[in-house]
Amino acid sequence: MSTADFPFPVSTATQAKLAKLNINNIWDLALHLPLRYEDETHITPIADARAGIPVQIEATVIHQQIQFRPRKQLIVQVQDLSGHVLYLRFIHFYPSQQKQLAEGKVIRALGEIRHGFFGDEMVHPKIRTDIEQGLSESLTPVYPTVNGLNQPALRRLIQAALKHLPDDDTLPDELLQQLHLPPLLQSLKFLHSPPPEYSIQDLHQGTLPAWQRLKFDELLAQQLSMRLARQQRLKGHAAALSGNGHISKLLQTNLGFALTSAQQRAINEIKTDLAQTHPMHRLLQGDVGSGKTIVCALAAAIAVEAGFQVAIMAPTEILAEQHYLKFQQWFASQGITVGWLSGSVRKKAREKTKTELANGTMQLAVGTHALFQEDISFHNLGLVIVDEQHRFGVAQRLALKNKGSDVHQLMMSATPIPRTLAMSFFADLDVSVIDELPPGRTPIVTRLVNSTRRQEVEKLVQHTCIQGRQVYWVCPLIEESETLQLQTAVDTVAQLQLALPQLNIGLIHGRMKSTEKAEVMAAFAAGTIQVLVATTVIEVGVDVPNASLMVIEHAERMGLAQLHQLRGRVGRGSAASRCVLLFSEPLSDLAKARLKVIYENTDGFEIARQDLNIRGPGEFLGARQSGVPMLRFANLEEDLPLLEKARNLAPLLINQQPQVVRKHLQRWLAQRAAYLGV
């Protein structure tokens, strides 16, 4: 199908507007489904209208005036047969509307009635003057649209599309019967012009067969494309990496601890993957503190033993730097060159690293996404390790994918992928789980404390430090302004210093130079700094086992994943650890829900599951950054039964009916294929 394929006349100007809605052919038009419906099938007497429910009234204009205070607005007074008066209020209006609403005219207005300043009113109702047309016979669909393309025009185009659409279902009849799903064309016609016996409430139910059909098709398309991507990957080529163990053995000997059996299992799984001639695509998932770093270091060791380069990428500079320091410590002593690359690396140093990566003298490179900028090339990259993978945006993941389609990839995350996502967007990902914490950890006690009781918390800080332990104090997230956030952190240090003069209080924040941050972290690790005040830069990866108290200010502003990560910075040693979540009233419902979850749960998996419930899947996928809606119709949690059906069907179709697969994918994924499986 060509990009602008309409079997009926559509002007070039209209085509351009449709393109903005991602509508490029007749099928796109037909799949452009209503956001909601309006009921213009009957008239409600003004006297009977209840607040908050949209109604259509029919009335005569009895007065019109433009007011200028408190702001310019058009006020139209109307009266209907019930004798009741209603005010129609327009804050934006055109001269044509004034004419349309001239005194004496009979009009219909659709909107919600509410009690306003002037009395009962409708603000910006939808006005109809074609009352001789009679009432609509079915509910009126309302579509997402763009400037310059009004609802009636879009509705006409869609109706034309439905007339011209061939009855060409992608799924065979017998299959639809088995699945108890209606044909596609029938479903589309139903949703675009619902039969009069259905109410708005009915139509908004996702359980209607017509909706089920659309959701199923969408989920099936996704399952098919994920499976095909997997097949593609398994057919692809990558160097088989297997080492002789000379680096990894020494690395393990020098560690000072033995791997947990979960870590051992994970590294074995990775080892098996690396020895294959197709690219690994594996997620190493383990709660904060479960010990993912050493596992990925052992994977890196295997690649280096095999004579290949490894890139380790982390989402923030401070986390990347922690990895860099660890890798330095573990590998440099064995004569392996470890490089560092981030946005703040000076030009000269960057050039040197760039050269060494290109000629192969540098075996390990640690850094931020700066590692995958266009001008960086590797001599023989064999393995890419991505920490906190879900925190990278889709664009960055794409860049990485393009650089390394033929290299092994190991992703790491403390945020478990909820089951529904694992079955859908991450279907082409093998997962190793570290489900066991290293021995000797004590559970963290979490407390929710109103910020009015800050002084008690300061006492607790003092008490903790007297016992020889250390404290993190995390300053509030201030999204609007980094400067303000920094100011708050500086104030906090001053305030704590005043309250606890005998303690040594340090500060770390995002604006500091890398060397300064490293100095502060080193002082905290050595115990010279007892209380570390931090902006959220310490969120990931920081590892100081002697720290046993974490105070988080304005915890209500933070997301669940972030809170869980932060809390995971304590409880790493043998001392009983606490996390105090300071909150300020009033709390939004969302904030309350989050605080309850973090208070009641310590298991990262459960927290992530509840997070998904609260937020929806977009954030896990990085969809927010990309702006690409991942699923238009289906909802992974609500539509789990459909997802399961689609998942079972996909392999059968791929094996037995490849022509069906092709057709189905073409209809559903034309423009979005690039984003799937990233």
* Residues making contact with ligand ADP (CB under 6 A): 257, 259-260, 263, 286, 288-294, 414, 438, 543, 572
Strands 505-508 and 531-534: parallel
Please report how close the Cβ of residue 204 comes to ligand ADP at its closest, in angstroms: 43
Please report how close the Cβ of residue 541 comes to Mg ion at its closest, in angstroms: 5
For 185, the token pair is 């064309």
Please report how close the Cβ of residue 493 comes to ligand ADP at its closest, in angstroms: 26
Q: Output 315 or 404, the one with its CB closest to Mg ion.
A: 315
Q: What is the 3-state secondary structure (H, E, C) of 293-350?
A: HHHHHHHHHHHHHCCCEEEEECCCHHHHHHHHHHHHHHHHHHCCCEEEECCCCCHHHH
Rounded Cα–Cα distance for residues 437 and 425 (Å): 28
Please report how close the Cβ of residue 115 comes to ligand ADP at its closest, in angstroms: 55
Q: Output 64 or 264, the one with its CB closest to ligand ADP.
A: 264
Cα angle, residue 617 at apex, residues 614 and 623 outer, rounded to 5°: 130
Please report how close the Cβ of residue 251 comes to ligand ADP at its closest, in angstroms: 12
Residue 290 touches which of Mg ion, ligand ADP, none (CB < 5 to 8 A by kind)? ligand ADP
Enter the DSSP assignment of 451: G
Q: Output 517 or 554, the one with its CB closest to Mg ion.
A: 517
Please report how close the Cβ of residue 314 comes to Mg ion at its closest, in angstroms: 8
Report the candidate in 192, 224, 13, 183 with the shortest Cα–Cα distance to residue 647: 224
Residue 286 touches which of Mg ion, ligand ADP, none (CB < 5 to 8 A by kind)? ligand ADP
Please report how close the Cβ of residue 414 comes to ligand ADP at its closest, in angstroms: 6
Please report how close the Cβ of residue 272 comes to ligand ADP at its closest, in angstroms: 21
With CB atoms as reference, the residue minimizing the distance to Mg ion is: 541
Please report how close the Cβ of residue 412 comes to Mg ion at its closest, in angstroms: 7
CA distances from 132 to 13, 44, 108, 172 (A): 32, 17, 11, 45
Q: Which residue type, as a one-letter code, is found at position 384?
A: V
Q: Output 541 or 622, the one with its CB closest to Mg ion.
A: 541
Please report how close the Cβ of residue 572 comes to ligand ADP at its closest, in angstroms: 6
Rounded Cα–Cα distance for residues 519 and 126 (Å): 64
Please report how close the Cβ of residue 180 comes to ligand ADP at its closest, in angstroms: 45
Does residue 152 come out as left (phi exceeding 0), alpha (psi in the -120 to 50 range) or beta? alpha
Residue 288 touches which of ligand ADP, Mg ion, none (CB < 5 to 8 A by kind)? ligand ADP
Residue 141 touches which of Mg ion, ligand ADP, none (CB < 5 to 8 A by kind)? none
Q: Output 541 or 677, the one with its CB closest to Mg ion.
A: 541
Residue 543 touches which of ligand ADP, Mg ion, none (CB < 5 to 8 A by kind)? ligand ADP
Residue 112 touches which of ligand ADP, Mg ion, none (CB < 5 to 8 A by kind)? none
Q: Output 353 or 470, the one with its CB closest to ligand ADP.
A: 470
Question: With 0-12 CB in 10 A as exposed, 13-18 as middle and 19+ as buried, what is 325?
Answer: middle
Helix or strand run (H / E) with residue 548: strand 547-552
Q: Output 404 or 541, the one with its CB closest to Mg ion.
A: 541
On whether the CB atoms of residues 311 and 381 are closer than 8 A, the answer is yes
Residue 8 touches which of Mg ion, ligand ADP, none (CB < 5 to 8 A by kind)? none
On whether the CB atoms of residues 386 and 540 are closer than 8 A, the answer is no
Please report how close the Cβ of residue 221 comes to Mg ion at its closest, in angstroms: 35
CA distances from 522 to 322, 359, 569 (A): 11, 33, 16
Does residue 564 come out as left (phi exceeding 0), alpha (psi in the -120 to 50 range) or beta? alpha
Rounded Cα–Cα distance for residues 4 and 532 (Å): 60
Residue 360 touches which of ligand ADP, Mg ion, none (CB < 5 to 8 A by kind)? none
Task: Order across the sheet with 281-286: list the strands.
Answer: 338-341, 364-367, 309-313, 381-387, 408-413, 281-286, 430-434
For 520, the token pair is 């502060």
Q: Which residues bind Mg ion (CB under 5 A)?
A: 541
Q: Output 387 or 611, the one with its CB closest to ligand ADP.
A: 387
Q: Output 297 or 643, the one with its CB closest to Mg ion.
A: 297
Q: How many angstroms separate the first and last alpha carbons of the chain?
A: 25
Helix or strand run (H / E) with residue 175: helix 173-179
Other Cβ atoms closer than 10 A to 498: 9
With CB atoms as reference, the residue minimizing the distance to ligand ADP is: 291
Q: Output 24 or 293, the one with its CB closest to ligand ADP.
A: 293
Residue 94 touches which of Mg ion, ligand ADP, none (CB < 5 to 8 A by kind)? none
On whether the CB atoms of residues 424 and 226 are closer than 8 A, the answer is yes
Q: Output 107 or 540, the one with its CB closest to ligand ADP.
A: 540
Rounded Cα–Cα distance for residues 550 and 567 (Å): 7
Residue 438 touches which of ligand ADP, Mg ion, none (CB < 5 to 8 A by kind)? ligand ADP
Q: Output 319 or 623, the one with its CB closest to ligand ADP.
A: 319
